[in-house]
Chains A and B, each alone.
Chain A
Amino acid sequence: MANSILQVENLVKRYGDVEAVRGVSFNVEEGQVFGLLGPNGAGKTTTVEILEGLRTPDGGRVSVCGFDPQRDSDALKHEIGAALQSTSLPDKLRVMEALRLFASFYKRRRNPEELLKRFGLEEKRNAFYSQLSGGQKQRLALAMALVNDPKVLFFDEPTAGLDPQVRREIYDIIEELRREKKTILMTTHYIEEAERLCDRVAIVDHGKVIALGSPRELKAHSGGTTRIEVRLARPESDGALKRLEGVADAREVDGAYVIHSNRPPQTIVSIVKHLEAQGNELVSLEIASPSLEDVFIEMTGRRLRD
């Protein structure tokens, strides 16, 4: 893995007494879309900011495009592009001016006109930043991340706070970049986003990587089973549910029971029979193919969504 474009080894970052990042390691290969998936406060943004050279790590080794973000910060910044969380531009800066200004900071540049067209901002070229909608602002942020034709892109929660329609627009953009074999490191707390956009995903919780692999590998790891989620009128022991037909695993999560089954039809019948015998009742039942959420539940016993 010596030639990975992005290498993170045992990264540690503390804020006072709080360890935000506790020994994170992963590599990203050129042309890959790599996702850091985890709940808010898991340490994703801190990790990304260290890779961008914005923060100083307290331990571990980091290399981005062969540079140490601490020592070679100036050289590194020419090679990376970023759409950060909680950033903005001056209200009275026009869209085209912003692209031109930011392009002017770099040795290698892309044509701002072409970016404007590609991100659907042609009509807004003379609009002030303050006149853009949330989605347009985010498209501009992504366009600005590309002005220097960077070797690595960092997208920190690229769709947070956007409505579903706009979120899909952003997905299309990232998928197009993926087809062009751009190297992207993105963070997200949306499962759908990680499954759809990423070649590889590191699931992060409390500053640690708890699972790492392609979305398919991770899901296969959780048994390739079907997920049946039931709510019951009265509590039931996990043990009894585990003994039912075809059940690979059963556990209580936030008052519901998440059951993984190899043979869903048989399992459902036996759940119903079992409950009848116990005088218990089924309140709701949901069947889904497994997602990265199940991997997260399996590792932490919690749900990813807040």
Chain B
Amino acid sequence: MNNFTNLTRMRIQLALRNKMFFFFSVIFPLGMFFIYAGIFAKGDPQKVSYFLGPVIALNVMGSFWGLSATLVMFREQGILRRFHVTPVSATDMLASSLLANYALTLPTVFVELACARLVFHVPNLGNLLSLAVLVTVGTVSFGSLGLVVASVTNTMQETQVLNQLIWLPLIFLSGATLPMGYLPKVAQGIAVFLPATYLVSGLQNALYSSFSVWQLSIQVFSLACWAILTFFVAAQLFRWEPEAKIPRNAKLWAAATAGPADDSSPMDTLLLKDYKPRSTLVVPETAVARARFPAIDVHTHSMFDVKTEADVDAWVRTLDEVGVETVIVTTDATGADFDRQVALFAKYPKRFRLYCSFDYSDIEAPGPIDQARAEEEMGDLLFAITNLSRKLGIEPESALRRANEKFTGRFDAMERAFLSRGQSLPDATLEQMEAEWARVKADS
């Protein structure tokens, strides 16, 4: 209990020293109040009283924003880690966050109520007990939501994105900004499940219609259940260390409020020894005994098992059986060889289409290089390199000289290395020279 109160005091002190806190928790809500009361209600006391519920609801709902950001910052900076080695418990840490937030939210609510009464002359502020109960339960609920957000996100950016995603439906679907009746039917259906809806309608009924706590029991009960659930989830998910991952069993709880995206693929953790790939070329076999429509076999080779006219006849019988009308035969033959193949299949000109192959017979034969043409090509290449040097501002001749020097230097070094081992360069094998060359090159 002692830790809890001391931590609460620290959190309040820190918030009061923070300029951002003043903007988001004081200036911003009061600005909203004056926009609603001055512009929407045009200062009419009756209308101001009607809008007061949504304004206070927005103020209360905003709790989750600051709480999530602070807790994530504490974790990212290793502040929570420092508390972790002390006797401070996770519950101390979370509960003090909630109480500090409550204590910091109340003054703004008081100022809003005071302005409504004194500036806009709202005749009465409805049922004050109902108001106090709803503000309390609401602040705890939405504060706990912030604690859940802090636990399911790992970085400040993630936190802010998730906060935005939560904030939009809260303000647009809860009736806080648009009256429920204006919303499409689907949105109204969703709104029934939003705790924010209960907070807005509860506060409006307490302030405008002076409903008692008993008359607002559904709203109070719903919010209280939600507060307990979210606090429980936040305690399950709480992490002291920045690198700690969300406990596995707690991930299920996270789904109850907001599901974090898991973008890791199974390949990220797969070890090579466990990698058992299956060829995509191996497909399930489907046996078709006979084609329903006349079929064409677009690619087959015949050179090994079809040698005689009897073989061809046997093949044609098989083709008739399975319903193949035409076969494209790739013979891999040229010249006289190909002529023999054509003769073999001559009996069935409609059934077989024969393709001959390329004649590679002279591919290895030596031939004279066209020296004149080679010289021209080489000249073009040198010209292109020289021109590129000019464009880059490099003097080609000195560049070439440097390359020569580099080569001579390395060759010398290689020679010396062999000599120092009592070996002469001409005696060395090509492999030894290659190895030494690689070493010399790596050194220089």
Contacts and interface: CB of A to CB of B under 8 A. Distances in A.
B10 A87 contact: no
Contacts, number: 63
Given A84-B81, A90-B14, A102 B86 contact: yes
B13 A105 contact: no
A279 interface: yes
Interface string B3-36: 1001100100110011000000000000000000
Instruction: Give the interface residue-count category, chain B.
Output: 20 to 34
A84 B87 contact: no
A151 B400 CA distance: 74
Contact of B10 (A53, A86, A101): A101
B79 interface: yes
A89 B83 CA distance: 9
B241 A88 contact: no
Nearest to A234: B420
B78 interface: yes
Interface string B259-303: 000000000010100000000000000000000000000000000
A104 B240 CA distance: 20
Contact of A82 (B3, B13, B85, B89): B85
Interface string B397-434: 00000000000000000000000100000000000000
A78 B87 contact: yes
Considering residues A52, A88, A234, which has the most beta carbons from chain B within 10 angstroms of its beta carbon?
A: A88
Nearest to B77: A88
B74 interface: yes
A90 B14 CA distance: 8
Nearest to A92: B17
Contacts of B121: none
A86 B85 contact: no
Contacts of B82: 84, 87-89, 144
A87 B86 CA distance: 13
Contacts of B240: 54
A17 B270 CA distance: 11
A87 B3 contact: no
B14 A92 contact: yes
A92 B79 contact: no
B10 A77 contact: no
Interface string B79-96: 101101111110000000
Contacts of A101: 6-7, 10
A77 B3 contact: no
A97 interface: yes
B444 interface: no
A92 to B, nearest CB: 4
Given A54-B85, A77-B87, A104-B2, A88 B78 contact: yes
Given A84-B82, A92-B18, A104-B3, A74 B10 contact: no
Interface string A74-85: 100110101010
Contacts of B3: 104-105
A19 to B, nearest CB: 15
Nearest to A279: B420
Contacts of B88: 105
A16 interface: yes
A87 B78 contact: yes
A120 to B, nearest CB: 21
Contacts of B81: 54, 84, 86-87
B86 A54 contact: no
A93 interface: yes
A144 B420 CA distance: 65
Interface residues on A, range: 20 to 34
- For the residues of A in contact with B, the DSSP-based class is loop
Contacts of A87: 78-79, 81-82
B78 A93 contact: no
Contacts of B17: 92
A26 interface: no
Contacts of A92: 13-14, 17-18
A106 interface: yes
Interface in B327-384: none
A88 B79 contact: yes
B85 A84 contact: yes
B87 A105 contact: yes
B271 to A, nearest CB: 8
A54 B242 CA distance: 13
Given A16-B269, A101-B6, A77 B85 contact: yes
A185 B330 CA distance: 81
Interface in A84-115: 84, 86-90, 92-93, 97, 101-102, 104-106
B10 A52 contact: no
B86 A105 contact: yes
A92 B73 CA distance: 13
A276 B7 CA distance: 73
B78 A104 contact: no
B241 A54 contact: yes
Given A87-B81, A88-B77, A89-B79, A104 B6 contact: yes
The interface centre, meaning the residue of B2, B13, B82, B420 with most chain A CB atoms within 10 A of its CB, is B82
A219 B154 CA distance: 46
B240 to A, nearest CB: 8
Given A92-B14, A97-B13, A101-B10, A106 B78 contact: no
Given A90-B79, A105-B6, A279-B420, 15 more contacts: A52-B85, A54-B85, A74-B89, A77-B86, A84-B78, A84-B81, A87-B82, A89-B82, A92-B14, A92-B18, A97-B10, A101-B10, A104-B6, A105-B87, A144-B82
26 contacts: A16-B269, A17-B271, A52-B85, A54-B81, A54-B84, A54-B85, A54-B241, A74-B87, A77-B86, A77-B87, A78-B87, A84-B81, A87-B79, A88-B78, A88-B79, A89-B82, A90-B79, A92-B14, A92-B18, A93-B13, A93-B14, A102-B86, A104-B6, A105-B86, A105-B87, A106-B87
The 5 closest A-B pairs by CB, nearest first: A87-B78, A92-B17, A87-B82, A82-B85, A77-B87
Interface of A: 16-17, 52-54, 74, 77-78, 80, 82, 84, 86-90, 92-93, 97, 101-102, 104-106, 144, 234, 279
